Amino acid sequence: MRIDANRHLDEDEIERYSLGTTADEDFARLDEHLLICESCQDRVTESDRYVSTMQRAGAQLRGRGSKQSRMVPIFALAATVLFLVVFGLRFTNRSTVAPAFALNLVATRGNGIEAKAPGGRPLTLQLDLAGLPPESSFGLEMVDRFGRQVWQGTVVSHDSKAAASVPQRAGGIYFVRVYAPSGALLREYGLEIEGR
């Protein structure tokens, strides 16, 4: 399995990994990435410490029973402060997030995919809606090359054009589908995100 070494684990992946709730199909990918990425290793270690601290605090609270019930607000406040400190430091120490990459999607005939974007960046999709029924908004769906949905949203049409912001995706082939408000599929655009 190949890993995009430039794509760091997001906060949800780190949290699931630390809590041991990572899906089996994702565990090997995350584990393999952690073998080569010191930054993500540090973030997981920080998350592990936080989870361990919260579990110990919870166990202590359960063990003391109702006599210590007035201590609960103090522990809750301490846990909140610890959470804000740990996760606040993560956000302030992060490197600058890459700006969105604007990508024009135009309906074309043929098998080739002409729209290409660099990996590791969010996308701003510029959609050409010329020739579609006049609607004020359309449903959007992004699927991977196997047809699995990876993102969903809506866009407002302005003069047969629309724009949608999509979070960064792993490298690969994707298809953006445009749906009428009734749910009918109207158009599909292909795009390739570099890096796998």
CATH number, domain at 183?
A: 2.60.40.1220
What letter would DSSP give residue 126? E
132-153 pLDDT, tens digit each: 888 889 999 999 989 999 999 9
The token pair at 182 is: 């009734």
CB count, 10 Å around CB of 45? 11
**Amino acid at residue number 83:** F
Residues 176 and 144 placed together within one structural domain of the fold: yes
Beta bridge partner(s), residue 140: 153, 178
Residues 111 and 174 placed together within one structural domain of the fold: yes
Residue-number span of the structural domain to which 124 is assigned = 101-193
Beta bridge partner(s), residue 142: 151, 176
6-41 pLDDT, tens digit each: 688 888 888 888 888 888 888 888 888 888 888 888
**CA-angle at 74, arms to 69 and 80, nearest 5°:** 125
The structure's pTM equals: 0.50
Does residue 73 lie within any of the structural domains? yes
Total domains, the chain: 2
